[in-house]
């Protein structure tokens, strides 16, 4: 939901007059929502600002975001970070790909998901009760 949240926030801020740039790794979610400026890094979710333990890639990524912010000619400007995660693109086949999961693994994940939803509901109810 992060990419959607940030996309909605960027849209809202721009409507109020604040220019924005999004840094993120989920191209389809951000572009489907429709945002003004977006630096897309084709990395696994969790690395929107560069590769881990690679300060040079982080510096390149931030500089690109700043350039997108200052030079975008109009809305829906997406730039793709030229850096890649790995020479082998096979990592892209794994994320939430049911075609790659066994029936046992699907059952295990279903149980885990139920448990986490309960936990999140508890936190939300506490948070609302505290208002």
- Residue 39, SS3 per DSSP: strand
Told to check if 56 binds another protein by CB under 8 A, we report no
- List of residues 6+ apart from 39 with CB closer than 8 A: 21, 22, 23, 24, 61, 64, 65, 68, 78, 79, 81
* C-beta separation of 19 from 69 below 8 A: yes
Single out the residue of 81, 104, 127, 129 in contact with another protein (rule: CB under 8 A).
127
Told to check if 48 binds another protein by CB under 8 A, we report yes
How many angstroms separate the CA atoms of 35 and 10, rounded? 7
**Residues of this chain, 95-114, that bind another protein according to CB under 8 A:** 95-98, 106, 109-110, 112-113
Smallest separation (angstroms) from another protein to the CB of 101: 8
User: How many Cα neighbours within 13 Å face the side chain of 118?
Assistant: 6
Single out the residue of 82, 89, 104, 129 in contact with another protein (rule: CB under 8 A).
89
Told to check if 92 binds another protein by CB under 8 A, we report yes
**Residues of this chain, 26-45, that bind another protein according to CB under 8 A:** 26-30, 32-36, 40, 42-45
Smallest separation (angstroms) from another protein to the CB of 3: 4
């Amino acid at each position: 939901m992060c990419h959607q949240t940030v996309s909605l926030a960027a849209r809202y801020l721009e409507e109020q007059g604040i220019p924005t740039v999004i840094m993120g790794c989920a191209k389809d979610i951000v572009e489907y929502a429709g945002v003004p400026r977006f630096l897309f890094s084709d990395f696994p979710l969790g690395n929107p600002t560069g590769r881990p333990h690679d300060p040079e890639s982080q510096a390149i990524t931030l500089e690109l975001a700043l350039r997108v912010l200052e030079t975008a000619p109009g809305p829906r400007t997406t730039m793709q970070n030229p850096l890649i995660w790995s020479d082998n693109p096979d990592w892209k086949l794994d994320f939430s790909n049911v075609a790659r999961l066994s029936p046992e693994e699907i059952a295990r994940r279903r149980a885990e998901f139920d448990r986490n939803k309960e936990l999140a509901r508890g936190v939300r109810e506490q948070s609302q009760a505290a208002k």
